[in-house]
């Protein structure tokens, strides 16, 4: 499955500390979201770094238990379980 990515550039200089890759990143992870959510994510993420770097950090933080997803007021899916059940 192939998809196209939009490139977002800004004139603001960003100082992002990058660490040398100890393991090559060759696996892909994808999900579908609405165009509105995608645009809002890219706009918000570019305030910190490249949107792909922010997404990568979110995934790594979740795996390393540095990120917890809390249940919204109106649950949409059954993915919100207490930490003792996962």
pLDDT of 4-45, one tens digit each? 444 443 444 444 455 566 777 888 888 999 999 999 999 999
Q: Is residue 78 part of a domain?
A: no
Name the pLDDT band for 74 (thresholds 50, 70, 90): confident
Residue bearing the bigger pLDDT, 1 or 55? 55
Q: Is residue 54 part of a domain?
A: yes
Backbone angles phi, psi at 55, to 5 degrees: -60, -45
Which residues constitute the domain of residue 51? 33-66
Closest CA to 6 of 47, 39, 54, 55: 39
Q: Is residue 16 part of a domain?
A: no
Q: pTM score, two decimals?
A: 0.57
Mean pLDDT of the 54-68 span = 93
Q: Is residue 45 part of a domain?
A: yes
Q: Is residue 39 part of a domain?
A: yes
- pLDDT computed for residue 69 by the predictor: 83
Number of domains in the chain: 1
């Amino acid at each position: 499955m192939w998809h196209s990515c939009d490139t977002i550039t800004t004139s603001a200089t960003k100082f992002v500390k990058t660490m040398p890759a100890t393991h090559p990143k060759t696996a892909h992870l994808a999900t579908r979201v609405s165009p509105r959510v995608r645009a809002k994510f890219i706009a918000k993420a570019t305030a910190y770094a490249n949107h792909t770097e922010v997404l990568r950090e979110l995934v790594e933080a979740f795996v390393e238990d540095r990120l917890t997803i809390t249940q919204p007021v109106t649950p949409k899916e059954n993915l919100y379980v207490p930490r003792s059940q996962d």
